[in-house]
């Protein structure tokens, strides 16, 4: 299995859209930084590297036209790129993915596809 560090745009899009979906009480920067840190740590573990954990540039968000199923795909990709450590579990990303999936189900019922 291989792994790579996802782009700031990838992670910022997940964090920003999640914050928009659940409300202003969520700290977008903290979410993005936590997701990126786990991703970097996974790649470091996989390849024996020592890349520094850094802040995510949340200004690198993808265009607003991303639909919820696109966001689920971004989460699935990030999860796959972050799973190299033994006993990997990322409850934050699982929560975000579950929220996007729940809203996808709502969108099917109401025929509204973006947030």
**pLDDT tens by residue, 10-54:** 999 999 999 998 886 679 999 999 999 999 999 999 999 999 999
Residue 93 lies in a domain: yes
Residue 96 lies in a domain: yes
**Domain count of the chain?**
1
Residue 2 lies in a domain: no
What range does the domain containing 76 cover? 8-110
Residue 3 lies in a domain: no
Model confidence, pTM:
0.89
- 114 strand-pairing partners: 67
Q: How confident is the model at residue 106 (pLDDT cuts 50, 70, 90)?
A: low
Residue 1 lies in a domain: no
Alpha helices, DSSP H, located in the chain = 8-22, 28-47, 68-81, 91-110
> Which structure tokens are listed for 63?
């265009």
């Amino acid at each position: 299995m291989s792994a790579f560090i996802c782009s700031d745009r990838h992670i910022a899009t997940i964090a920003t859209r999640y914050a928009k979906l659940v409300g202003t009480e969520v700290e977008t920067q903290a979410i993005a930084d936590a997701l990126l840190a786990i991703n970097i740590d996974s790649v470091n573990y996989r390849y024996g590297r020592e890349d520094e954990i850094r802040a995510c540039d949340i200004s690198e968000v993808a265009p607003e036209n991303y639909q919820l199923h696109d966001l689920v795909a971004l989460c699935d990709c990030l999860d796959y790129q972050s799973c190299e450590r033994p006993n990997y579990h990322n409850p934050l990303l699982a929560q975000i993915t579950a929220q996007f999936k729940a809203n996808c189900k709502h969108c099917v019922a109401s025929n509204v596809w973006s947030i």
